[in-house]
Amino acid sequence: MLTPLNLKALSQQPELFAPGHRMCTGCGAPIVVRMVMMAAQHPVVVANATGCLEVSTSIAEYTSWKTPWIHSAFENAAATIAGVETMYRSLKKQGKISDDIRFIAFGGDGGTADIGFQSLSGAMERGHDITYICYDNGAYMNTGIQRSSATPFGADTTTCPVGSDNPGKLQQRKDLTRIMAAHDIPYAAQASPSHWQDLMRKVRKALDIRGPKFINIISPCNRGWRTQTNDAIQLSRLAVETCYWPLYEIENGTTTITVTPRAKRPLSDFLKPQGRFKHMFAPENAWMLEAAQKHVDAQWERLQREQMLFVKPGTSE
Amino acid sequence: MTKMVAATGNEAIANAMRLADPDVCSAYPITPATEIMHYFSGFAANSQVNTEMLLAESEHSAMSACIGAAAAGGRVATATSSQGLALMWELLFIASGMRLPIVMAVCNRALSAPINIGCDHSDSMGARDCGWIQLYSENAQEAHDNMLQAFRIAEHMDVRLPAMVCLDGFITSHSIESMRWLPESAAREFTGRYQQTTPLLDMAQPASYGPLILSDMYMEYRKAHEQIMCQVPQVVQDVADEFRRISGRSYGLFESYRLEDAEVAIVVMSSAAGTTKDVIDQYRDKGIRAGLLKPRLYRPFPYTEIGLALKHVKAVAVLDRSDSFGGSCGPLFLDIAGALSCQTERPVLVNKIFGLGGRDYMPEQARQVLDELLQLTQGAPVTSLKQYIGVREAAC
């Protein structure tokens, strides 16, 4: 029976992701992982790309994973879980296994949008029954805050440092959720730990759908974002409310915005608390704030128009 | 009854895989190994095997999926060549470090640049220290037999390590040979079934594969791997003995050909050994005591046994089908020199680099090498430790 998505019921459910791991204080990733694992109502096998999550949860002879877990390399979590899932299908077909198992891969944005991109795209195209979850903290945080293709415009990182000749990252981030949706997979979604019921509902939906699924989840990193250790949830909420990180899903080609902010806040509300964007608030860099806002506005506009394509005639929205 | 068949090396490998009936095969096309998966995909498409195919988008993902599938708990096989093996390199260490008995056919092919699809051993030699078992095959018959035995060796409880079965690209992979195959039932009984001891799919006993091992224990894991590798030769021999009983074909860690009383000998692997044996027969007919040693198990390398087999020879030429650039010698030469280093009585050694990028190895080259060795036995000095043979000297 499904555990209802309320705190009382969930707090009584045994957890598959144990405490005692060595993720940084205030990190968003273990919060995200805990929510994902709590949402799962079936036996789950997990693959993990190399990264903060992997390295901090599997320091031998301890493991935080109370469910089967495999880490192979940085760029191959999707191919690895695809191999596990293929063996599962083979053994199931041969009558050698009876469990009804779900397969989840976790990767950071570097392991997913950059080095693991080909592996992920291949696994999605082949149609494996897997759910790939990217926890996006917007840089290579594990190796020391280097830029990734998911790093937002303007961010100060260790490989695009703000200096006299460089105002931070000059490119907009790669929109991985849309790229995954373009694979015409049955389910692609974007979620945030600030909206935990929305997140867990999306995970449950993904795990109930057969075929390849992708969920991109924003995951604040106080080390890389240059923020406090107690504001991961607040920041991820601001990411949603500024429409920097809209919450939506694309199910069988139909786009639905799952949480529409009551009032869209200016992007600077999300950027201002973060040290990585501090330079953007200098008067000479006003153009950067404008460019970033313009990009978010255009993306939000596009997403709303995309949703409208699927609104049935006669409905109010 | 064994049956005579005419088949290419790739067909022989694919049929050995069919008889082993892996639970998962994951692969990516590359010349000259591609054809193995053509044949095998046909078997899978016609219910001749229980295998689920995973046709990956790269060799990197193909090996990654093999790792995931093998950890999940079942028999896994693949095939590759050259650049494909190079792309897998990172994962080869992961497969062996996780003790996953994946069996992989490698159709040996040169590496780029310059791009070349012909045979040499640069690809698998580059992967010789990645903790996999490596068996080399002289011809399609050996490739077939090695492939059948590789499943038993890799999956043996004393081993549980991945294994490569190497055959010469095109020369063996694409040439049609007549050979003997075991009756289907005998071959299937020989390959048996594989039981993973700690499958990832065992939900009752959740395992964590691939954890972080820090400097407090990493070296102990590496030493354990080395110790396991040291147990491999015995298993290889035991499996070969069992195979001989059902097939009548004998295999060892290496093959000695007219070596017992030889004064001069050539050490060479794979298809070139066949050509060399013919030339050795010609020299023997002339009363010259020539012999050959053909390594079969190259990793782990049977140092002691090979050292003992060669120590009485006066002069030995080691023929490498790959080179270690920069004044060092070919990898096979270095291992042979290592095998002889602890013998007080030992031959004069020279190293010849031959057959790169599909360059034909001709009987004339073997004769040239044997003649040089005979001069060395008569006191001539070694003029060059390493020398390219069959090369256009004027062109380089």
Cα–Cα nearest to B254, from B238, B242, B235, B268: B268
Residue B327: what pLDDT?
75
**For chain A, which residues make up each domain, given as ranges?**
13-308
User: Which chain B residue is nearest to residue A44, measuring alpha carbons?
Assistant: B203
Q: What is the mean pLDDT of residues B257-265?
A: 98
Cβ contacts (< 8 Å) between A43 and chain B: which residues? 203
Distance (Å) from the alpha carbon of B88 to chain A's nearest alpha carbon:
11
Q: What is the mean pLDDT of residues A179-192?
A: 98
pLDDT digits (tens, 9 = 90+) for B135-163: 999 999 999 999 999 999 999 999 999 99
Token duo for residue A134: 């990217």
Rounded to whole angstroms, the Cα distance separating A220 from B193 reads 48
Interchain CB distance below 8 Å, B212 and A43: no
Q: What is the mean pLDDT of residues A12-26?
A: 95
- Which residue is it, tokens 């993973």? B196
The reply to whether B97 touches chain A by the CB within 8 Å rule is no
B254-395 in CATH: which number?
Answer: 3.40.50.920
Token duo for residue A203: 């995970």
Distance (Å) from the alpha carbon of A191 to chain B's nearest alpha carbon:
27
Distance (Å) from the alpha carbon of B208 to chain A's nearest alpha carbon:
5
Cβ contacts (< 8 Å) between A97 and chain B: which residues? 201
Interchain CB distance below 8 Å, B57 and A118: yes
Q: Are strands B176-181 and B3-8 parallel, antiparallel or unpaired?
A: antiparallel
Interchain CB distance below 8 Å, B65 and A45: no
Other C-beta atoms closer than 10 Å to the C-beta of B362 total 16
Token duo for residue B313: 């020879």
CB-closest option in A69, A97, A125 to B208 = A69
Least trusted range by pLDDT, from A313-317, B89-93, B252-256: A313-317
Distance (Å) from the alpha carbon of B145 to chain A's nearest alpha carbon:
26
The reply to whether A18 touches chain B by the CB within 8 Å rule is no
On the question of a cis peptide bond just before residue B155, with omega within 30 degrees of 0, the verdict is no
CB-closest option in B68, B91, B211 to A63 = B211
Residue A251: what pLDDT?
97
Rounded to whole angstroms, the Cα distance separating A105 from A127 reads 14
Interchain CB distance below 8 Å, A76 and B54: no
Cβ-proximal residues to B201 (8 Å cutoff; 6+ apart), any chain = A45, A68, A84, A87, A88, A91, A97, A99, A101, B72, B73
Distance (Å) from the alpha carbon of B333 to chain A's nearest alpha carbon:
33
Where in the sequence of chain B do the CATH 3.40.50.920 domains occur?
A: 254-395
| Selected residues 254-273 of chain A with any CB under 8 Å from a CB in chain B | none
Cα–Cα nearest to B72, from B212, B191, B204, B202: B202
Q: At what angle do helices B272-285 and B363-377 cross, to 10 degrees?
A: 50
pLDDT of residue A196 exceeding 90, the answer is: yes
Mean pLDDT of chain B: 97
The reply to whether B204 touches chain A by the CB within 8 Å rule is no
Interchain CB distance below 8 Å, A66 and B58: no
Residue A306: what pLDDT?
96
Q: Are strands B208-209 and B24-27 parallel, antiparallel or unpaired?
A: unpaired
Interchain CB distance below 8 Å, B64 and A101: no
Kindly indicate whether the domain formed by A13-308 is annotated with CATH number 3.80.30.10: no
Q: What is the mean pLDDT of residues B287-306?
A: 98
Q: What is the mean pLDDT of residues A116-136?
A: 98
pLDDT of residue A316 exceeding 60, the answer is: no
The reply to whether B65 touches chain A by the CB within 8 Å rule is yes
pLDDT digits (tens, 9 = 90+) for A32-79: 999 999 999 999 999 999 999 999 999 998 999 999 999 999 999 999
Helices within chain B (DSSP H only) = 9-20, 34-45, 59-73, 82-97, 122-126, 140-155, 184-191, 218-247, 272-285, 303-310, 331-340, 363-377
CA angle (B26 as vertex; B21, B29 as ends), nearest 5:
115
Interchain CB distance below 8 Å, A80 and B65: yes
Interchain CB distance below 8 Å, A67 and B60: no
Cβ contacts (< 8 Å) between B64 and chain A: which residues? 72-73, 76, 79-80, 83, 119
Q: At what angle do helices B140-155 and B9-20 cross, to 10 degrees?
A: 30
CB-closest option in A55, A60, A82 to B65 = A82
The reply to whether B73 touches chain A by the CB within 8 Å rule is yes
Distance (Å) from the alpha carbon of A283 to chain B's nearest alpha carbon:
46
Q: What is the mean pLDDT of residues A259-263?
A: 97
Cβ contacts (< 8 Å) between A55 and chain B: which residues? 212
User: Which chain A residue is nearest to residue B94, measuring alpha carbons?
Assistant: A72
Q: What is the mean pLDDT of residues B11-23?
A: 98
| Selected residues 143-202 of chain A with any CB under 8 Å from a CB in chain B | none
Cα–Cα nearest to B382, from B344, B343, B333: B333
Distance (Å) from the alpha carbon of B351 to chain A's nearest alpha carbon:
38
Looking at residue B358, the DSSP 8-state letter turns out to be G
Give the model's confidence band at A315: pLDDT under 50 very low, under 70 low, under 90 confident, else very high. low
Interchain CB distance below 8 Å, A84 and B71: yes
Rounded to whole angstroms, the Cα distance separating B64 from A182 reads 24
Topology, domain B3-247: Rossmann fold (3.40.50)
Q: What is the mean pLDDT of residues B255-259?
A: 98
pLDDT digits (tens, 9 = 90+) for A89-111: 999 999 999 999 999 999 999 99
Rounded to whole angstroms, the Cα distance separating B357 from B370 reads 23
pLDDT digits (tens, 9 = 90+) for A160-178: 999 999 999 999 999 999 9
pLDDT digits (tens, 9 = 90+) for B51-75: 999 999 999 999 999 999 999 999 9
Interchain CB distance below 8 Å, B64 and A119: yes
Interchain CB distance below 8 Å, B201 and A75: no
Which helix or strand (DSSP H or E) is residue A201 part of?
A: helix A196-208
User: Which chain A residue is nearest to residue B199, measuring alpha carbons?
Assistant: A68
Interchain CB distance below 8 Å, A72 and B68: yes
Where in the sequence of chain B do the CATH 3.40.50.970 domains occur?
A: 3-247
Per-residue buried b or exposed e for B162-191, using 16+ beta carbons within 10 Å of the residue's own CB: bbbbbbbbbbbbbeebebebbeeeebbebb
CB-closest option in A70, A91, A99 to B203 = A99
The complex's ipTM works out to 0.97
Cβ contacts (< 8 Å) between A104 and chain B: which residues? none
pLDDT digits (tens, 9 = 90+) for B329-381: 999 999 999 999 999 999 999 999 999 999 999 999 999 999 999 999 999 99
Judged by DSSP in three states, B111 sits in coil
The reply to whether A75 touches chain B by the CB within 8 Å rule is yes
Interchain CB distance below 8 Å, A121 and B76: no
Residue B396: what pLDDT?
63
Kindly report the backbone phi and psi dihedral angles of residue B274, in degrees, each rounded to the nearest multiple of 5, phi listed first.
Answer: -65, -50
- Which residue is it, tokens 């040499």? B120
Using the Cα atoms of residue A50, residue A66, residue B206 and residue A82 in order, give the sign of their dihedral.
Answer: negative
Looking at residue B329, the DSSP 8-state letter turns out to be -
Q: What is the mean pLDDT of residues A225-237?
A: 98
Q: At what angle do helices B9-20 and B184-191 cross, to 10 degrees?
A: 70
Cβ contacts (< 8 Å) between B73 and chain A: which residues? 87, 91
pLDDT of residue A210 exceeding 80, the answer is: yes
pLDDT of residue A317 exceeding 50, the answer is: no
Residue A238: what pLDDT?
98
Interchain CB distance below 8 Å, A83 and B65: yes
Interchain CB distance below 8 Å, A72 and B72: no
